[in-house]
Structures are given as C-alpha cells and as structure tokens.
A = this chain, B = another copy of it.
Amino acid sequence: MTVWDRPEPPTRPVPLDRERIVAAAVALADEGGLEAVSVRKVAARLNAGPMRLYGYISTKQELFDLMVDEVQAEILPEEQPDDWREALRVLAHRTRQAALRHEWLADLLGGRPTLGPHGLAVTEATLAALDGLADIDTVMRAVETVSAYVTGAIRREIANLRAERATGLSKLDWQRASGPHVTSMLASGRFPALAKAVYDGTDVDAETSFATGLDWVLDAVAAKLTRPPA
C-alpha cells in the first residue's frame, strides 16, 4: 500500500473569514428564515465545527448584525438622484426590495442600531439627500421620521405576506381566512369602522400602499423643509 494507492487525506480545514460565514448564514436565512440559522448549520455549510465561528464572532447576535449589514449593501443605488425626494424614495423602495428578497430582514429591521459600514452608508445617503435643505435638527427629524415609516411599513407588509401564505388565502379573504374568529368579531358589531373597512375598502396591493404612505410622509417632510433654514 504505497502513498499512491492511498487517497489524499481529508482536506485541510477550509480557511474562513467573516464574508464567507455571513454569506452562508444569509443563504440559510433566505431558504428557511431566521430560525433556520443556527451556529451549527452555518458551520456545517462551511465544513467546519460550530466553535470555529466563535473566532470571528463572539455571539450569535453579532452574526445577525453582520447579516443585516451585508444586505444593506444592496440598498444603496449606484448613483443618488439629485432631487432629495427622489433620493429618499429610491432608498425606501430599495430597502423594501431588499426585505422582499430577504424576508428575515423584516425581523431584524429596527431591532438594533445599524453601525456596520453599509448601514452607516445608508444612513449617510439618507442624511446627504437632505443635507443643506434645512437646519441640521430638522434634517435629523426628517430622517428619523422617514426611516421609522419605512421600517414599520416593511414589517407590516412582510407580516401580512406571511399570514396570507400560512392561510393560503388572500388579504381580501382576511376575515374568512382567520377562521370563524375574525368573522364573528366583525359580525359582533363591536368594530363597526373595522367592519366597514374590511367590507367596503378596496384592497390595494402592497407596493402601492407602501408608496402612498411614503409619499405622504415625504409631503410632510417637504412642508418642513420649505420653511427657511435657520
């Protein structure tokens, strides 16, 4: 039995870096949601033992932070429109699209301050869009407000999307979808305005809803900006 007969020994441990770890984690989350991301599974996908990862992160939460920052890279457009309003709109829509590509992002959005390079870059871009159009405090308030709306709207959209997927029914069949419960609640007469909304409201698609609310918020921002800066 010479060397030549024997197969090569199992490959030396694959060199790791954060990039590869995060990519594996993102892939897992894209396939099975955040709950499919476990240290063991991420490591397995990289042919490594679980503990190996703890040389690159010190906690699973940090892995999530890295994942968020990673997909935030998809948010920044190649070039920013000059018009502040258009710039903010693009950022918002790209955030939404990122969340639709990576639904787990909705679970993490707004959950922790985004201090990673791409997260900072997104914040920078948002601030830059309004830079000089008002005093700094107004700009900060504007950024906070728009971001809060975007976060909240995306979260709700994904939540509804999952609910529809789980029941297999469309939002229009909302009350029937949730079983007798909501139906009877609405029939109880205790929620007249809600009942009217469900029965008489035309259900608009999610993107339109997002865009409409966003426009309203941008209107509000515009109103504050036009007041001359200090």
**A interface, CB within 8 angstroms of B:** 107, 109-113, 115, 117, 120-121, 123-124, 127-128, 131, 136-137, 139-142, 144-145, 147-153, 155-156, 159-160, 162-163, 178, 181-182, 185, 190-194, 196-197, 200-202, 204, 209, 212-213, 216-217, 219-221, 223-224
Q: Is the CB of A204 within 8 A of B124?
A: no
Chain B residues within an 8 Å CB radius of A151? 148, 151-152, 155-156
Nearest 3 A/B pairs, CB to CB: A148-B152, A152-B152, A151-B152
Chain B residues within an 8 Å CB radius of A155? 109-111, 148, 151-152
Given contacts A111-B107, A124-B194, A196-B136, is CB(A152)–CB(B159) below 8 Å?
A: no
Give A228 to B84 CA distance when docked, in angstroms: 29
Q: Is the CB of B216 within 8 A of A159?
A: no
Give A196 to B131 CA distance when docked, in angstroms: 10
Q: Is the CB of B149 within 8 A of A156?
A: no
Give A112 to B202 CA distance when docked, in angstroms: 22
Q: Please tell me which one of the listed residues B107, B194, B196, B212 contacts residue A120 in the complex, with CB atoms under 8 A apart.
A: B194
Chain B residues within an 8 Å CB radius of A148? 148-149, 151-153, 155-156, 213
Chain B residues within an 8 Å CB radius of A191? 120-121, 123-124
Chain B residues within an 8 Å CB radius of A128? 192-193
Q: Is the CB of A115 within 8 A of B159?
A: no
Q: Please tell me which one of the listed residues B147, B153, B224 contacts residue A156 in the complex, with CB atoms under 8 A apart.
A: B147
